[in-house]
Amino acid sequence: MKDPSEDVEAYATLAAQLADPGADRAALLAAHGLDEERWEALDDAWQARLSEADDDDGEDVGVPPLVAAFAETFARAQRARARSELSFDRFLEAARALRRGTDMATVLSRLDLTLEDYLSAQQRWTAAMLEDEELMARFQRAMR
């Protein structure tokens, strides 16, 4: 794992993860050896560097490489997070396909899902079904 204080991509990825309203901030920060105070200092330092890089461009010809690297990585991390949150219908589609006995790698590839996508959805929707009888009944009907 790269150090977000020294690597713009590691910083951008962490910033995108922390921007997610459902994120466990304390756990994410702790995984990087940070707390809120140290994160604020790190974020301030990176924002200053990004601003400086933008100001240093001088010729106004395109986006400075540091700013581009941050923006691309931040957007990629956000897309990855959004993609991993499968709708219940998409989860049902995958669960039905897997129940048919086709191997998991083939099913997930055909549905353009990663194992992480499916397992994350399975965890999320299993917890939801335990709390919602109607959702559980819908799942059971779909699995017949």
Residue 5 is predicted with a pLDDT of 93
Please, what is the Cα angle at 28 between 23 and 33, to 5 degrees?
A: 160
For every one of its 144 residues, what pLDDT tens digit does the chain have, with 9 covering 90 and above? 799 999 999 999 999 989 877 778 898 899 999 999 999 999 999 999 999 987 765 555 678 999 999 999 998 888 776 655 788 999 999 999 999 877 889 988 888 888 878 888 898 899 889 989 999 999 999 999
The pTM of the full predicted model, rounded to 2 decimals, is 0.58
Could you give the CA distance from residue 4 to residue 28 in angstroms, rounded to a whole number? 12
8-19 and 36-56 are packed helices; what angle lies between their axes, rounded to 10 degrees? 120
Could you give the CA distance from residue 17 to residue 81 in angstroms, rounded to a whole number? 8
Residue 60 is predicted with a pLDDT of 58
Could you give the CA distance from residue 32 to residue 89 in angstroms, rounded to a whole number? 35
